Amino acid sequence: MRSHPRPPARPRHRTTVLAAAAAAVLLPLAGCAPAAPPPDPGADPGLGSYLGQDLAWSGCEDTATNAADAELFANPALECASVEVPLDYDDPDGERARIALLRLPATGASEGSVLVDPGGPGGSGTTFVASVLPLWQASPVAERFDVVGFDPRGVGSSTPALDCHTDEEYDAGDVPRFGAVYEVTSAEEAAELAERCTEGSGGVENLVNAGSVNVVRDMDVIRDALGDEKLTYLGYSYGSELGAMYAVAHPERVRAIVLDGAVSPDLTASGFRLSSFAGLQARFDDLAAFCADSPDCVLGPDPAAANDRLHEIVEPLVETPAPTADGRNLNVWDVYLGISGGLYSEAKWPEVVSALAALDAGDPEEALALRDTFYARTADGAYGMDFDTNIAVRCMDAPRLTPREQTALAREVGEVAPMFDLDVFTAGSYHSECEAWPEPPTRGEPWLDGAEGLPETLVVSVTGDPATPHEGGVAMARALGAGLLTVEGKQHGAYLLGGSACVDDVVEAYLLDLRSPPAGARCSL
């Protein structure tokens, strides 16, 4: 099904943030920090004690939060440090947070840093850079720039951590389950969630300072600590929101910003959710057509009937989750999360079809594996994608819906994505997961304002992206006055992850030498 990919110009292998690179040799590594730069004259004077931080780069083996990361971080090519930021920017003399950094130092004379965020909210930039390390090492960007992944506040190795539930509770399904919306069906359940998140995160102040507005301010402190006069940044998916917000907040401090899998700045949070579900449905329709080409397709020979056939396969799990070999039970929410993750890349479609066929035959193991991949669950039971932080950030980013609005949203999801139109997902009465959050949001709608006269940035948008549809990338490029690279394909994210030399060459020309692609530029995966 893949459309005529170009042969790569240099060795590449496919990977994602959910697939770790090969094991590395465990060796200690000591690093020296460059001389601290003078304070930025344009910086907030209240942040003086945070400017010019002297980063103590050293080996990363002691910074991992799970065994899988420990194996990745042991690579002697990597260095780690942390940056202090105010927990609350309205009280810079109060409590401090620490933002974890991981870098691959430039192999030549460093011209600065490329700061990387893989998305989420809840994705770890340190894990992402470490897990795709061979791709970075093959890239000319790493010859001239340090590649630096960061863990946004609450994520990974950054502190304070934001926790609502334990890994064991995620294993047991004792967490708010996500179908069309979160399965929060009463004010009492919403209040319980807010209380759990407050207690697990060490207090209200830690929890309510997690929003994107503060993450963007953290990025500017990181830029200063790295010694970069201007920011060079690569953000995927949700990371495109952070990059766009930074460009608007600090246009004079932007060198280069790449937004891959860009989120539309024109949509409300509910509108964006509906567009993403419509994108997932479009890719499921494609998967159904792909499956129908085989005579024994588990979804049947008619792609138009695939939604109903999917419902037949999964509905028994609504009342009776399937026991698995490791003692966990696979429920219908797990299956849909796994399918959704599999739809993020056309290369994963055969795995989705195989998992559904096995599930239909009574074997839940492949569907469980897809669910675990979605969560980035490691072999030791640690969850690499932080969905507690995801909730916390989104609760501080977007206006809260009333129960009537949340219930209507669930129904609309069933309309735009009939693969999700099961009663368990769409027929209930729902409350927002953020209904009882202890503070109001710090970001409004629209979330991007004043995007005029900015330095030229670059948006990369895949035509068949199931999570951040192409129309959103076009809207982001228009809002920022950015260059736009349109990529033919069916995948979420393209640079380094898509195996396309065409995409990589365009992005690298921009990151290295600020050469934007011509109008109408296109590549394919």
Instruction: Give the closest residue to 259 by CA, choosing from 510, 45, 7.
Output: 510
Dist CA 260 CA 461 (whole Å): 6
pLDDT tens-digit map of 50-80: 999 999 999 998 999 999 999 999 999 999 9
What's the pLDDT at 451?
A: 77
Catalytic residue among 218, 492, 500, 524: 492
Dist CA 71 CA 99 (whole Å): 21
pLDDT tens-digit map of 132-190: 999 999 999 999 999 999 999 999 999 999 999 999 999 999 999 999 999 999 999 99
Instruction: Give the closest residue to 169 by CA, choosing from 153, 205, 193.
Output: 193
Percent of the chain with pLDDT over 90: 89
State the burial class of residue 492 (Cβ atoms within 10 Å of its Cβ: 0-12, 13-18, 19+): buried
| Mean pLDDT calculated for residue range 507-516 | 98
Catalytic residue among 124, 158, 237, 240: 237
Which amino acid is residue 430, in one-letter code? Y
Of all residues in the chain, what percent are helix, strand and coil, respectively (each to 5)? 40, 15, 45
| Mean pLDDT calculated for residue range 489-493 | 97
The model's confidence at residue 274, banded by pLDDT at 50, 70 and 90, is very high
Contacts of residue 340, Cβ cutoff 8 Å, sequence gap at least 6? 280, 374
Asked whether 522 and 486 are in contact (CB, 8 A), the reply is: yes
* Cα 254 to chain centroid, rounded: 22
What is the number of other CB atoms lying within 10 angstroms of the CB of residue 4? 7
User: In sequence order, what are the beta bridge partners of 147?
Assistant: 104, 114
Whether residue 110 lies in the annotated active site: no
Dist CA 391 CA 386 (whole Å): 9
According to CATH, where is 3.40.50.1820 located in the chain?
Answer: 56-161+209-266+447-524
Contacts of residue 500, Cβ cutoff 8 Å, sequence gap at least 6? 5, 6, 8, 487, 489, 494, 523, 524, 525
Between the CA of residue 377 and those of 118, 258, 359, 371, what are the distances in Å? Answer: 17, 28, 20, 9
| Mean pLDDT calculated for residue range 330-359 | 98
Q: Is 281 helix (H, G, I), strand (E, B) or coil?
A: helix
Does the pLDDT at position 45 exceed 70? no
What distance separates the 2 farthest-apart alpha carbons in the chain?
A: 68
Whether residue 465 lies in the annotated active site: yes
The model's confidence at residue 46, banded by pLDDT at 50, 70 and 90, is confident
Dist CA 6 CA 197 (whole Å): 47
Q: 464-489: string of b/e by CB count within 10 Å (b at 16+)?
A: bbbbbbbbbbbbbbebbebbbbbbbb
Give the strands of the sheet with 146-150, arranged side by side: 79-86, 96-104, 146-150, 113-117, 231-236, 254-260, 458-462, 483-488, 522-524
Cα torsion angle, 210, 216, 217, 220, sign: positive
What's the pLDDT at 453?
A: 83
pLDDT tens-digit map of 376-392: 999 989 998 999 999 99
Q: How many CA atoms lie within 13 A of 59 on its CB side?
A: 15
pLDDT tens-digit map of 295-320: 999 999 999 999 999 999 999 999 99
| Mean pLDDT calculated for residue range 270-292 | 98
DSSP characters over 37-51: PPPPTTS-GGGGGGT
What's the pLDDT at 17?
A: 36
Does the pLDDT at position 520 exceed 90? yes
- CATH, range 56-161+209-266+447-524: 3.40.50.1820
Helices then strands, counting H and E runs in the chain, come out as: 20, 11
| Mean pLDDT calculated for residue range 197-221 | 97
| Mean pLDDT calculated for residue range 350-357 | 98
| Mean pLDDT calculated for residue range 455-467 | 97
Percent of the chain with pLDDT over 70: 91
Contacts of residue 71, Cβ cutoff 8 Å, sequence gap at least 6? 20, 23, 24
What's the pLDDT at 44?
A: 65
Does the pLDDT at position 32 exceed 90? no
Dist CA 48 CA 53 (whole Å): 10
Catalytic residue among 163, 224, 386, 465: 465
In this prediction the pTM is 0.91
- Cis-peptide, bond into residue 121, ω within 30° of zero: yes
- Cis-peptide, bond into residue 446, ω within 30° of zero: yes
Instruction: Give the closest residue to 162 by CA, choosing from 504, 443, 394, 403.
Output: 394
What's the pLDDT at 452?
A: 80
Q: What is the mean pLDDT of the chain?
A: 91
| Mean pLDDT calculated for residue range 78-85 | 98
Does the pLDDT at position 329 exceed 70? yes
Contacts of residue 349, Cβ cutoff 8 Å, sequence gap at least 6? 1, 286, 287, 290, 291, 342, 343
Contacts of residue 4, Cβ cutoff 8 Å, sequence gap at least 6? 524
Does the pLDDT at position 23 exceed 50? no
